[in-house]
Amino acid sequence: MKQVGIIPNLTKDNGELTATIVEKAATYGITSYIVDEMYDFIKNGIPLTKEELYKKSEAILVLGGDGTLLSISKDAAKYDVPILGINIGNLGFLTAIEGSEVDIALKSLKEGTYYIEDRMMLKAELIRDNEIYDEFVALNDIAITKGSYARIIHLKAFINNDFVNFYPADGILISSPTGSTAYSLSAGGPVINPNMECLLLTPICPHVLNIRSIVTNADDEIKIVVDDDNRDIVLTIDGQKGITLKKEDEVVVRKDEKSAKFIKIGKESFFDILRNKLTERLCY
């Protein structure tokens, strides 16, 4: 690779790590494109708008935690450009390397000693009054949950228009394999290898004893229907974007046409990461 874009979380990097990457990249003959806001701090690299950066870069280096990577992954997927997560957050489950390992990463990018994983993404449609009210793309999960009040909500689930079950619960998650280690895992869902393609339906604190997660085909369509007058029900996309739902709203989720491309460096397997990161979480 000869051209990389750098997108930092501006609340976590004051320019120090970005400047280091730009300087080290130059020693490998790699041109660095940076977002306009960061150029004002470091006065190095080539400043571009985000759209221009996505178009010109062979890879995007994302500096931040998992939340930053989730946000950038959806935009990068539109341009079919791979991303490399550099962790300067807390857990960093999705990020590939730590901030101290940037020299190793740049050398790998220059020499081509890396591989790319395709990660399935989700597309959701909010149907209201029989019309598409809004559309969303998620890497991890689509959540339909109660808001601030401590009471259960009532939802109905369908797969390919076949009725699955009625859920009195705190909510429902529809996750990708990547998202199986996020909110779904906390809700008791199974761990799924992110190289697989499937849809995962997981109830959140169901008010019955016999409801469990369901894994279904990636080509299936999951529909959740709000069956509750409670106005404090929220649709959340990757935990970052929310919209209030009302009775008879339908949330339809399927596999997205685009996939996120993650750059991987080294031989650490998914199960190594799973074991190590979840052990870290226990130490917080």
Q: Which residues contact 197 (CB under 8 A, 6 or more apart)?
A: 120, 177, 218, 255
Phi-psi category of residue 14: left, alpha or beta, with phi > 0 → left and psi -120 to 50 → alpha:
alpha
Three-state secondary-structure class, residue 70: helix
Q: Which two tokens stand for residue 210?
A: 């016999």
Task: Say how far apart CA 231 and CA 249 lie, in whole Å.
Answer: 11
User: Tokens 């509750």 appear where?
Assistant: 228
Task: Say how far apart CA 35 and CA 53 lie, in whole Å.
Answer: 7
Q: Which two tokens stand for residue 197?
A: 């393609």
Q: How far is CA 37 from CA 6, 12, 21, 45, 92, in A?
A: 11, 14, 16, 12, 24
List 13, 66, 249, 256, catalytic entry: 66
Three-state secondary-structure class, residue 78: helix
Angle subtended at Cα 134 by Cα 133 and Cα 139, rounded to the nearest 5 degrees = 150
Element at 276 (helix H, strand E):
helix 270-282
Q: Are 67 and 15 in contact (CB under 8 A)?
A: no
- N- to C-terminal Cα separation, the chain: 37
66 catalytic, yes or no?
yes
Size of the chain, expressed as the number of residues it contains: 284
Q: Residue 193: count other Cβ atoms within 10 Å of its Cβ.
A: 13
Task: Say how far apart CA 178 and CA 62 lie, in whole Å.
Answer: 18
Q: Which residues carry out catalysis?
A: 66
